[in-house]
Every structure is written in C-alpha cells, then in structure tokens.
Structure 1
Amino acid sequence: MPVSLPSSAHNQRRGLLRAVGTISFYTLLSRILGFIRDIVIARGFGAGMGADAFFVALKLPNFLRRLFAEGAFSTAFVPVFADYLAAGDTQQTQRAAQAIFTQLLLVLMVIVALAQLFMPWLIMAAAPGFLDQPDKYQLTVDLTRITFPYILFISLVALAGGILNSHQRFAVPAATPMLLNLSLIGAALFLTPYVERPAEALAWGVFLGGAAQLLVQWPALKQIGFTVRLRWEPKHSAIGRILRLMGPSILGVSVAQVNLLFDILLASFLSSGAISYLYYADRLVEFPLGLIGIAMGTAILPALSAHAAKNDDAALNHDLDFALRLIFLINLPAMVGLIMLREPILALLFERGAFGSETTHLTGNALFAYAMGLMAFASVKVLAPAFYARKDTKTPVRIAIICMITNMFLNVILMFPLGYVGLALATTLSSYLNMLLLLRALKKRTGFKPHGGFFKVLLKGTLATMMMAAGIWAMHGHVWPHGGDVTTTQRAVALLPTIGVGVALFLLTAWLLKLEELQMLVGLLKRKK
C-alpha cells in the first residue's frame, strides 16, 4: 500500500534536493576542471613512465584521504557532531570540535613523517612491478614524497567540511576540490619547464592544491561562529566516541581502498600503461558518480543522522527511498550513454599529443567494465551512510570484508584472460554484491523496502533510457567522423549534438511518462534560476 507523505516529509525532500543541487553544481565545475586537468596531463604524459609514476604517487595519499578524510573520520565525526548540535550548547559543540582538530592534526603529522622515512618500502609494497625498472621506481618514490603531505591538508579540510555540512553549509566544501584541479593545471602548464623531471611539477601541484583547499575553509568557519584553535583535551568524550565509531569504520573503508591498492599492485606487473588506462577510465566514471552518487551521499548523511538521533526510522527510510530513486533515474542513462559513447568521449577529451588512438581504444576497454558498475558505485554511496547515521559501523564493515575477498578473488581470476580490463570488471562485480548485501541488511535493521510506486519509477526510467539509447545509436552512426586525421572540433561537432539528442529524448520520454522525481528536480532548478 503506498505510503502518503506529510508536508514535512515533502519539505525534507526538497531540502535534500537543494543540498544535492548545490553539491552537484560545484562538483560539476570541479569535474569540468578535472577533465581539463586530465587533458593537459594526457597530452604531456600520455600513458608512459612519468604518468604511471605520478598516478601511483597520487593514489597513496588518496588512499589515506579516503580512509581518514572522506571515509572513516567523516562517517564517525558527522553523527557525533550532529548530537552536539542537537543538544544546542554552542560552547560545548565548539570545544569538542577544537579538541578533535588538535588530535587529528597531531596524528596526521606523525603519519606524514613516518611515510617520508619509509617511502621506498611503501612504493615497493604498492607497486612491486616497478622494481624491475629502477628509474621508474625511484621517480615514483620521489613524487610520492612530494604528494604525501596532501593527506594532512585534505583531512583537515574534511573536518572543516563536516562542520559546515552539519550547519547546512554545503557550497564551500563542495567548491574547494576545484582548487586542486586548478593547481595541477597551473603546475603542468607553467612549472614543468623549471623542473628536471616533468612529472615533479604535477606532484608539487598536488601539494599546493591541498594547502589552498585548507586555507579557504577558515573564512567559512568564521562565518558560522567557529574559531579554529588548538585545544589539548585528548580525553574529551567526543574523541572517544569518534574513535569507537572509527575503529570498525576504518576497517570498512580500508577494505575498498585495499582493493584499489591491490589493483595497482597487479597492474604494475602488466604492460606499461595499464595503470594509466585504469586511471583515465576511472576518471570518466567519477564524473556522473560525483554529480549524484557522492553528492547525494554527502548531503544525506546529516539528514539521516538527524533522523537517527530521534530514532525515526520511518523518516530515514523515506529519505533513503527518495535518494535511491534519484540514483537510478540519473545513473542508468549515464551508464548506458557512457558505454555507448566511451571511445568518442575519450577521443574528444584526451586524444592528442602523447595520447594516441590506440591508447583511446585500450582505455575504452577499461571504461566499458567500470561503467557497467556505475549504478552500484552510486547506490553504495547512499546506502552506507544509512548505517553510519545509526552509529552501526559493524554491518557495513562485515559486508565490505566479504566484498574485498570477492574482489581479490575475481581480480586474480579475471586478470589472466582479460588483463587490466579484468581488474576493472572485478571492481564492478564486487560493487554490485556490496549494494545487494547492504540492501538486505537495511531491511533487517530498519525494515527498509521500496515504497509505493518505486518499481513503476524503475520501469519508466528504463523506458526513457531505451529511447535515449536509440537516439544515440541513430545519431552516432551518421555523424561521427572516421579516419586518422580528425580534429578536436570535428569530434566536438559530432559528439555534443549526439549527447544533446540523447538527453532530450530521455527528458521528453520522462515528461510524457510523468516521472515525479524528475519533475521535482526541474521545478527546483526553475526556482533557482
């Protein structure tokens, strides 16, 4: 029987849409800058030794970023901070945040110092295949020493972002990633001529980008009345609560990151360029994933935490149901479009300079495997916060361990017949397992199940996507230029109208089928305009 929503629930959904819209807008700008960054890197470095070394040097601090900053720390900090906000004691709330800031800064400084000391062994463990190429190995060690302090900057950025998001201030945390892309673009274009090894410029771009992201947070924190200062209270109750939540959460988040490092480890034994193919393919999948999956996960955690603090599972399930509908309606057409147009998109974005047509084709193979997992990647970003909001970290950890073991097994099995494509496909398959296990666990914990009309939305979304796919297929076959001497302008003139026709057919079909969720989204955009 359909569940009718009171006006307060509709207001909550509109508020969630506004938050997602804000995050998605700045994420879109950041992703556009990210593509410009990757175009610059691809043109100058292609998929050679310097690119492989830099991508490994970027992966290691990103591993800890996702582990501490956007992973275990954020999922533990936001629910605890939400409890302090709900209590209404501003002085105690600020005191708790300052104590957490001090301890986090100390831990990060120790981690960075140890990493600098043991960097050769870290690279040996992360990319053992590089040991047969001494120059590549040493370059990777040197680059990672430069990029590694990024984890200190970005973890403090995550703390500031958690405070701002909990105050419903989503714009600044969502906009700051643009600074990293701008820094990398500037370093690649202007710093490269002044360093002995060109890839060093990219590493310094990461360092400077992290510092810039941290600096722009302070004015936003002052606007909400938060004072950044050191407060030495290692026994503060908030720190203890966060650590208790972080313990299992670190294990859970590290499972996904261990999978990524295991992919690099295996790819380092494959032919030169394999790491770069996976990187460029992953970057394209991250575009739609960031716009809705990560944006929705970021926006929904404070809302779910507020519902959990009131023990209101019904409201939590309503928000989760609505979020999953949007995930499906946006990511299904994105997945189909990305698969159908993978090589044209790669050619338009990257095929120039050191990035040739063969690299486009090889990267497209990895993109096909990754793109098939887009629905699962986005759904997990929304489902996992439902557990963290209820301070249940053990369930997603247990599920993540199962998926990690599955992913490693599939990596080894699929790598032999499919090479680097097998590594991407293993990630996709294990993510679908993760999604299904999280859904089953939520049903047991909160009684979550799709509300009335959910499967009708799925059917309508599928029909709209099929119309989009038909339009893309018809357009692409007639307008895409062929031959070896094709300019970027010719590719853009062929590809952009094809995408436009596909999007128009999807929206037209959705409007004819009266998809309420998209109508709400369009209405919100009109009001914002």
Structure 2
Amino acid sequence: MTTEPPAALTPAFPGPRSAPTAEPPAVGDPRHGFVAKAFGVTAVLTAAGSVLGMLRDLLLATFFGANQGTDAFLVAWTVPETAAPLLIEDCMAFLMVPAFSLALVLREERPDGPDPVRQLARATLPGLLLVLCALTLGVVLGARQLVGLLAPGLADPELAVSCTRITACTILPFGLAGYLGSALRAHHSFTAPAGIYVAYNLTILAALLTGHDLLGVESAAIGVAAGSLLMAAVVAVPIGRRLRQGHRGPARSPLADQGLVLIPLAVLPAVAFTLTRQAQVFVERYLGSGLPPGSISHLNYAAKISQLAMTVAILLVTVTFPLVARALAAGDLDAARDRVEKDLGQGAALVLIGTAFLMACAPSVVALLFQRGAFGPRDAAATAAVIRVYSFGLPAQALIGVMIRPYFSLRPVVRRAGDPCDDGGRRLLDWYPAAAMVLGLVVTTAVGLAAADRFGALGLAAGNAAGITTTAVLLLRGLVLRGIALRLRLVLGGHARLLAAAAGAGGLGTLAAGLATDPLLSTLLGGLTVALAFAALGTVLGAREVRGPVLAAVRALSPPAVADEGKFPHGR
C-alpha cells in the first residue's frame, strides 16, 4: 500500500493532468527504446570524456607527480570543481530541466499561442549572465584571500593564487553551458550536453602537452579556462536551432502570458545544497593542507578513479531526469514514483558492482594508470589505500544523485500561473536537502579532525564516506516527505540484496586479483571475477536489477526452440 503525503506537503502541482504525447515517451510509455537510445549516446560520449579526463590526470601525474606544485594547482582547481556541479551537473539542472519541461508541457497545451520556452529563456538568461560575470570578477580579485581560506598551510600559495585567477575564467562559460545543456535535455536532446566534457578535456590535454615544459602546472590551468569556452560553444549551436524551430506568435511578451510565474527564491535552496555538498572537498583541502606534501594529490587522484564507479549510475539519472520532470509537470505522481524507484535500484546495482571492482583491484588499477614518471610506487600505494576507503561512500553518492533531482523538480524555478502559491510547509521543505547535507558535513569534519592526525589522508577519506552516507539516509526520508511516496520496504530490501552480492563479489575479486603481479593481468582477473560473481550472487539472492538482465542474457544465448512442427514427420 502507498501512503499519501500530508495535504500540507503535497507537490505544488494541481490534480493529475494528461501526460504529453507529442514528445518522446513520458514515464511509463511503452516506447521505452527512447531511454535505451539516449542512455547509449550519453554513455558513449561520457565514457569518452571520462577516458580523456583520466588521461588528463595521468599526464598531470607523469609531468608533475604528487608534490607542492600539484597541490597548489589542485587548490586552484577547486574553482571549476565547485562551478561544475553548481552550474552544469547539479544545481543548474535541478532548476532548469524542470522549468523547461514545464514550459514544453505548456507549449503542447497551447499550440497556437506564444512560445513559453523562448519566453522562459528571455526571462532568465540575461540575469544569469550578469550574476556569472560578477562571480568571475569576484574570484579574480579575491584569489589570494580564497587560497588562504581554502588551504592556509599550503607550501606554495603564490602559485595557487596565479592558477586560481586563471581558473576563475571558467565560471561564465560553465554557467552558459549548464543552462543551455539543461534546455537541450528537457527537449530530450542528449548528444551535445554529453559531449561537452570531451571538448573540455581535449583542450586541457592539448595545453598540457604543449605547455608543461614552459609554463609548468599553470599550463593545466590555462587548458581548464580554454576548455570551458569550448564547452559553451558545443551546446550553443543545437539549442539555437531548437529555439528557432519553436518560434511562433509575438516575439516578446510577459512570462505570465505564457502561463508561467518565475520563482527566483527557488534558486537558493538548490544553490545551498550544491555548495554544501561541494564543501566536502573544501574540508578535505583545508585539513589536507596541513598533512605532508602530496596528500591533497593522493586524495584527488583517488577521488577521480573512485568517481568512475558511479559515473554510469549518474548517466542513467541524467537520461531519466527529464522524464521524471515531465511527469511531475503533468501531475503524474505515480509514474514519477515508479521511475524514481527503478532509478534507485538500477543506480545502486551499477555503482555497487563498480565499488566491488575498486575494492578488489585498487592497487593494480592505480599502478596501471598512474605509476610512471614522477608518480612512484609509494604514491600509488597511498592512492590505492584512499580509493578503498572512499569506496564505502560511493553508493550513497550515487543514491543522492538519484534522489535530489525529483526532490527539486517538485518546486521548480517556475510554476503555472494558475497554481496556488506555496505555503510555509513547502518552503521549509525546500531547505531539507541543504540541512541534510550540513549534518553530513558535520560528520565529515568531525571524523576528519579525529582521524587525520593518526591516519592522514585515509582519515579524511573515511570522513567523506561517513558524511555522505549520513546525508543519503536523511534524503531518502526527505523524498517521502516531499510528496513522492516511495515504497521504502521494497527499495531497501532490493538494496540489501545488491549489497550482499557486491560484498561477495568484492571478496572473490580480491582473491583473484592477488593471483597475478602484473597490473594489467591482475586488473583483468579481478574485474572478470567481480562481474561474474556479482551476476551469479545477485541472481541467486533475487535482486531484480541483476536477475532480469542475467536471465535475458541466458535466453539470448540459448538455442532457439523449434516452433515449426511441420519440419518433422508426424509421430516424431
């Protein structure tokens, strides 16, 4: 039985409306091939971007190692690392994918009137550009104070200040790329948004290869700034084509004439959540600056590898998020709930098999990727140890990515002109994710302070895992309070089966990886064992996210049954 949320906490949409039919399939539509195709395109391009990003980190390690120079650059990299989730991956998408989805629903309901999508862009984009310009100037002018705040114990603060002023130039193009990419995703167009990191990392690689001897680590900062400009260009052309296709009616009219009301204050809770989540990195950099040189670099390389385990899970959510937002805009809460539950299960399965692989193969993976040039065996061993500790928090990271998108979709930055104004209960719940993240950050800081002196970077990684897991538990409850009545017993039962399968697969994979000393062979043995063991254990334990694909693969590989009896003599 599904329990209905209290009346005061129901979503800011009126009763159920008919789902759109003119666009690609909405939630529950039998034309499920759309999700598969979109996921495939997004996965290929994102995988390419991730490979290039890994190559970027490999070159950083090869050219500069793990020392005070790379520590200085990584402190400066905090600017694009913070701007990316705020302006591209998280906050901007939380706000603008639902907003454009609602505008598209209104476009279908009013096919002969002015275009709500174009008017939404006119009402929001100019102000956003002004804010982004102001933020860029503020970071450039305050770079010295920012470095002092982030890493007061840094050995080479002047290099960090110089790199920070360069990386500050990413803020404006990042924001433009995130805004236009959100509009494209709402239109169910995923190719250009998924390709932005390919352009970004190719530019950084070019800067590193051509400038590392002359400019040192500042060449990486220049590549980051130049790459951000190319990101914005990648999405600008296709969204311009989309807006021209949707043009009709008067060119300029008030937003309310299109049936939309802007809610500027809805931006604040999403910004607060994203910044608080990113503050985990700030805590690590702050505490890590007082540890031996290279500690921040070990944490950074470990985080980059660990995040690959949850990349596929986040890809799934990226594709399905516009479908959930469109269902919520149409008032179909049941369809949105079903999609979110499915995403939670599939996301957990994907990230847990990746976590099991990292637990089993972290030493061989780090040696294979980074152990060359200035990055020696000691650095590799330290990074691998951090990866294994980080991995305990990866499932929570992925589940937060699934849950937070529908949470903010229930109160987007715009609403229908005829809908009732939000009451105090809903406005208070807007801040629930940020509050949950603050509590998680308190746990991260407390564990880090308690463990850093004794365990070094491992203590900071343990704090990260503990804090993000605390936040995930709180958000699971918050999503129910928000109005999406998840069947928690069903969800948690499925996750328990997946977790048991991942634990068994990780143990067997560790044994298999230890049979070989060559990093490549060890990685292959461990990875193959983890995959087979996870599939077998998940099937035996009844995890539907594993059992279904495994049985489908078995049926596909089995010889087809002979159905044409006419081929055989009677009385066979």
**Contact preservation (8 Å) 2:27, 2:335:** no
Of the two, which has the highest radius of gyration? 2
Matched to 1:177, the amino acid is: Y
Please tell me whether the aligned partners of residues 98 and 186 of structure 2 are also in contact (alpha carbons under 8 angstroms): no
Q: Which residue of 1 aligns with 2:177?
A: 157
Choose which of 324, 348, 354 in structure 1 pairs with 2:368.
Answer: 348
Deviations 1:289-340 (A, max 9, x none): 1221x22332333222222223322212111110111122122221122112
Matches within 5 A, 1:467-506: 468-479=505-516, 481=517, 490-506=518-534
- Give distance in 2, aligned partners of 1:453 and 1:403: 25
Farther-moved stretch of structure 1 (27-36 vs 378-387)? 27-36
Q: Find 2:162's aligned residue among 133, 136, 142.
A: 142
Match of 1:358 in 2: 378
**Change over 3 Å in CA distance of 1:122–1:469 after alignment to 2:** closer
Percent identity between the two aligned chains: 23
User: Would the alpha carbon gap of residues 76 and 151 (structure 1) be closer, same or farther in structure 2, given more than 3 Å must change?
Assistant: same
Which residue of the other structure, out of 236, 261, 276, is the alignment partner of 2:297? 276
Residues 285 and 11 of structure 1: is their aligned pair in 2 closer, same or farther, counting only changes over 3 Å?
A: farther
Residues 333-381 of structure 1: per-residue CA shift (max 9 Å, x gap): 2112211211111111100111111111111222122111111000000
How far the C-alpha of 1:19 sits from its partner, in A, is 3.6
1:339 paired to 2:353:
no
> Which residue of 2 is the match for residue 442 of structure 1?
479
Residue 49 of structure 2 aligns with an amino acid whose one-letter code is S
1:267-296: CA deviations, max 9, x gaps? 11111111101100100111121221x223
**1:415 maps onto 2:452 in alignment:** yes
Superposition deviation, residue 397 in structure 1? 2.1
Partner of 1:287: 308
Out of 443-452 and 295-304, give the one that drifted further: 443-452
Q: Superposition pairs for residues 15-414 of structure 1, below 5 Å?
A: 15-88=34-107, 91-130=115-154, 133=155, 136-193=156-213, 195=214, 197-226=215-244, 241=262, 243-292=264-313, 294-391=314-411, 393-414=430-451
For 2:91, the aligned partner's letter is: A
Does the 8 Å CA contact 1:218/1:228 hold for their aligned counterparts? no
Q: Note the C-alpha offset of 1:124.
A: 1.2
Contact residue 67 and residue 73 of structure 1 kept, 8 A: yes
Q: Pick which of 255-264 and 409-418 moved more.
A: 409-418
**2: CA distance, partners of 1:286 / 1:73:** 20
**TM-score scaled by length of structure 1:** 0.87
Q: Distance in 1 between matches of 2:320 and 2:89?
A: 14
Q: Kindly provide the amino acid, as one letter, of the partner of residue 404 in structure 1.
A: L
Q: Distance in 2 between matches of 1:192 and 1:170?
A: 34
Instruction: Say if 1:245 and 1:520 are closer, same or farther in 2 by CA, change over 3 A.
Output: farther
Instruction: Give the structure with the higher percent helix.
Output: 1
Q: 1:506 to 1:226 in 2, by over 3 A?
A: farther
CA drift of 1:61 comes to 2.7
Shift of 1:442: 2.3
CA contact (8 A) 2:87 2:179 kept: no
Letter in 1 for 2:447: L
Q: Residue type matched to 2:361 in 1?
A: L
Give the TM-score normalised by the residue count of structure 2. Answer: 0.81
CA drift of 1:457 comes to 4.1
* Residue of structure 2 equivalent to 1:484: none
Name the CA shift for 1:517/1:209 in 2 (closer, same or farther; >3 Å): same
Which structure 2 segments of 5+ residues have no match? 4-25, 108-112, 412-428, 557-572
Residue 57 (structure 1) shift = 1.2
| Residue 266 (structure 1) shift | 1.4
* Distance change (3 Å), C-alpha of 1:312 and 1:240: closer
Aligned length: 505
RMSD over aligned CA atoms reads 3.1
The answer on whether the counterparts of 1:82 and 1:166 sit within 8 Å (CA) in structure 2 is yes
SS of the equivalent of 2:262 reads helix
